[in-house]
Amino acid sequence: MNIDPLKALEDKTERLKRELKSLETRLDNTQSEAAQTHLTHTNQLKDNTRKLTKTNDRVTELAESVHRLERLLVALNRKVRASETQKADFDNWPEIDQPDLAKILKGQEAYARRTFTPQEAKDTRKAIAEYDKQAAQAIDAAEALTHLPPAAEALWRKHYKQWRAITQLNRPDPPDDDTHAKDTVAKSAGNEAIKHTRYRIRTRIEDAVARDLLFPAWFENMLGPAAPPGKADDWLYTATDVVLYRLLHGVTSPADALGPAPLEEGHRKTLHDRLTSECADYRRP
């Protein structure tokens, strides 16, 4: 049988071309299907994203509606209770004297004031004595400058440097034993006054809770309508401090329990921040 090798090679080449063409066609189809699938998935993702955004907006809207409804229910509840329930009075305290409040404030000021320990007082007096010694030497050096001959440049520089050194320092404030003693008395008196004052306030709050009296609006706005489960004692402690804060700092707002936040750092700002944080926890559902 005669077989033309060239013819056979040409036939095989044609078959390979047809198979390659078929493969290219299949590849194109696959790429087209993949592109179409990707486009479909992309559109589905965009659609789902839009639906999710609408759902989130709806949830937010519903949450705001629930919050408004809760506030309306609280207001309605207060009106109903106000017509039927005796109101608690946390604004008038004839049994708490102004001198007691003044003692508490003075005690807080004394605690805020820096005091010297015995060792610090000793070290400070030593530093003051050293400063005074250097100051006297500097004054002598400054006076010597006016009597030095023109050629005594090195000596002039020495005396000038000694005088300049003391001008760069500040004399330490001396420890005031009298102020320390007064602060000790103020702290003791303030502690005693705050103990009795807090007792009177807490007793009235506990009585209002026991009798289910209607709290003032500023009290409920700050502490909620009742103590959270399991936190009654903590709630009473904070409520007592809220009332005490109003008495100490003359807050009379019928809606805002603590008034504007103090701008200056100190005991009042620290207490304001603590009460605000604690009360926020009590109001949380």
pLDDT in tens, 141-157: 666 666 666 656 666 67
Tell me the per-residue pLDDT of 64-113, one tens digit each, with 9 for 90 and over: 766 666 666 665 666 566 566 688 999 999 999 899 999 998 888 888 77
Domain stops at, among 174, 203, 218 = 174
**Which pLDDT value is given to residue 162?**
67
Residue 9 lies in a domain: no
Residue 1 lies in a domain: no
Tell me the per-residue pLDDT of 205-223, one tens digit each, with 9 for 90 and over: 999 999 888 899 999 999 9
Whole-number Å distance between alpha carbons of 180 and 178:
5
- The parent domain of residue 147 ranges over 117-174
25-34: average pLDDT: 80
Report which of residues 262 and 47 the model is more confident about: 262
Residue 5 lies in a domain: no
Q: Are residues 108 and 243 in the same domain?
A: yes
Question: Which of 39-48, 101-110, 117-126 comes out lowest in average pLDDT?
Answer: 117-126
**Which pLDDT value is given to residue 94?**
92
Q: Are residues 108 and 235 in the same domain?
A: yes
Number of separate domains in the chain: 3
Q: Are residues 237 and 146 in the same domain?
A: no
Q: Are residues 75 and 129 in the same domain?
A: no
Q: Is the pTM of this model over 0.75?
A: no
Q: Are residues 55 and 40 in the same domain?
A: yes
Say if residue 130's pLDDT is above 90.
no
Residue 2 lies in a domain: no
Residue 3 lies in a domain: no
Q: Are residues 258 and 212 in the same domain?
A: yes
What is the percent of the chain where pLDDT is above 90?
A: 29
Q: Are residues 28 and 93 in the same domain?
A: no
Return the structure tokens found at 244: 């005490």
Tell me the per-residue pLDDT of 217-260, one tens digit each, with 9 for 90 and over: 999 999 988 888 889 999 999 999 999 999 999 999 999 999 99
Domain stops at, among 60, 84, 108 = 84
Say if residue 1's pLDDT is above 60.
no
Residue 106 lies in a domain: yes
3-state secondary structure (DSSP) of residue 20: helix
Say if residue 185's pLDDT is above 70.
yes
**Which pLDDT value is given to residue 27?**
80
**Which pLDDT value is given to residue 198?**
95
For 1, 104, 253, the CA distances from 98, given in Å and listed in that order, are 132, 10, 20
Whole-number Å distance between alpha carbons of 121 and 177:
9
Residue 253 lies in a domain: yes
Phi and psi at residue 214, in whole multiples of 5°?
A: -80, 120
Q: Are residues 105 and 215 in the same domain?
A: yes
Whole-number Å distance between alpha carbons of 128 and 144:
24
Residue 225 lies in a domain: yes
Question: 10 Å Cβ neighbour count for 240?
Answer: 20
**Which pLDDT value is given to residue 145?**
61
Please report which confidence band the pLDDT of residue 264 belongs to, taking 50, 70 and 90 as the band edges.
confident
**Which pLDDT value is given to residue 148?**
61
**Which pLDDT value is given to residue 38?**
78
Q: Are residues 210 and 277 in the same domain?
A: yes
Q: Are residues 230 and 262 in the same domain?
A: yes
Domain stops at, among 174, 194, 219 = 174
Q: Are residues 103 and 156 in the same domain?
A: no
Whole-number Å distance between alpha carbons of 198 and 188:
16
Q: Are residues 71 and 95 in the same domain?
A: no
Contact 269, 277 (CB under 8 A): no
Mean per-residue pLDDT over the chain, rounded: 80
